[in-house]
Amino acid sequence: MTRFEGLRKLLGHPLSIFSAISGSLTLIVAPATFSAFMSAVYASLGQLFTTVSVAVLTLPTVYPPNGPGDWLVIIVGVAFVGKLSERIIDNFQDRL
């Protein structure tokens, strides 16, 4: 492995990318605002994970619906994602 391949691997690591993005945002946005945003993200991690899991992993498996059971899953899933999204937005508004 050459020196440049090692550097490319290091810079392409997800943690390096996250650090670069968060550092850049801290410089652009006021540090207090960025800290509040990260605090809101951390406080909402469970709800964010559940929302993304339902929206990305569950709902596409029953779409297009083949019967009334699939329609029920879609309707309840969309309502659940909406309810969780409302909680996430409230959490962000409280912290920001």
pLDDT in tens, 5-50: 766 776 677 787 788 887 777 777 777 777 777 788 888 888 888 8
- What whole-number distance in Å separates Cα of residue 75 and Cα of residue 73? 6
Q: Is residue 25 part of a domain?
A: no
Q: Do the domain assignments include residue 1?
A: no
Model pTM greater than 0.85? no
Identify whether 35 is part of a domain. Answer: no
Number of domains observed in the structure of the chain: 1
Residue 32 lies in a domain: no
Query: What values do phi and psi take at 90, rounded to 5?
Result: -60, -40
Residue 75 has pLDDT above 80, yes or no: yes
How many Å separate Cα 53 from the centre of its chain? 10
Helices (H) and strands (E) in the chain, counts: 5, 0
Whether 87 is in a domain gets the answer yes
Q: In this structure, is residue 27 part of a structural domain? A: no
| Three-class SS state of 3 | helix
Phi-psi region of 65 (alpha: psi -120 to 50; beta: other; left: phi over 0): beta
Q: Is residue 34 part of a domain?
A: no
- Within a domain: residue 50? yes
The residue range of the domain holding 56 is 44-96
* Cα–Cα distance, 37 to 39 (Å, whole number): 5
